[in-house]
Structure 1
Amino acid sequence: MHRTRRHPAGGGSGPCRHLPALEPRAPDARWSPPVPPGGRRAEVCSSNAGHALWAGIAEPARARTTAERLLSESMYSGWGIRTLAADEQGYNPISYHRGTVWPHDNALIVSGLRRYGFDREARCVFDGIVRAAMDFRMYRLPELFCGFARDEYAHAHAHAHERASA
């Protein structure tokens, strides 16, 4: 099930270059996880797809599609990539898992975008996160912040969870 390989986009450098990569038995297994018995698959667009870029498990064509979707208007708030796309049922820009922006999640995504050569897209996300940091005390990014669109709100807004712990 595991085999060592170089990055599919020609990378293969860095501290993880010799670690085994997960190779699913079916090509789309990593994109469509099994449904638990009696459960339903929730097919939504979320920031989780960016983790595949960071991990280097996306084939180059799939990586391009993933990057485009992550930078779409419904995913990228202008401050960062939301956990759930704004056009998905259940989206809520103040819900912990359904539309907020997680800086650490965005850091992984930026790394993944760079890994596949999407430098312009990575810079866009990086710039959004840095601009958001300017709206927080001492420029310290919180664990998460609201996923409101930057063109509708002049400042990034702390999540209620963050305001309560400050």
Structure 2
Amino acid sequence: MPREVKGRSLLASEKRKKLISLLQRDGRMSLTELGRELGISHVAAKKHLSKLISSGLLKVRAGLSPKALDVRLLVVLCEVEHGKLMALLEVFKRCPRVVFLSTLIGPYNLMVVMVAEEPGLVKIMSLGACCIRRTDGIRRSELYVVDE
């Protein structure tokens, strides 16, 4: 019989799945509101929430709103030559517009999330004038503008 993974057993509860879904929509919901939506008391909602947080399955974080900051987020997917990937990660870490970097598995092996403070920067980046899309070792890239 396969061994049950701790995280999976915690998510086996439909209440916990719905709790996570509710918090993804509105992370500021009160325990009373959560309990009402789940059909349980606020005390039970707190117990479910505490269990998810203490297990490490759920993290409480603040998220910035690009719209409120008047910036655009851009996602660049790159296919990078294998031998140059680690070196490019180090270079891109120093770019002031890069807010997130990750290696990927699949046709694209690098994802870069960038901030464009001015509308003109989106156009410059989309035309390939941004050095991230033209750097030696990048075979091809795709750029996506994130719409909040």
Higher share of residues assigned helix: 2
What is the TM-score when the length of structure 1 is the normalising length? 0.24
For the pair shown, the structure with the greater C-alpha radius of gyration is 2
The one of the two structures with greater contact order (alpha-carbon pairs below 8 A, sep at least 6) is 2
Higher share of residues assigned strand: 2
What is the TM-score when the length of structure 2 is the normalising length? 0.26
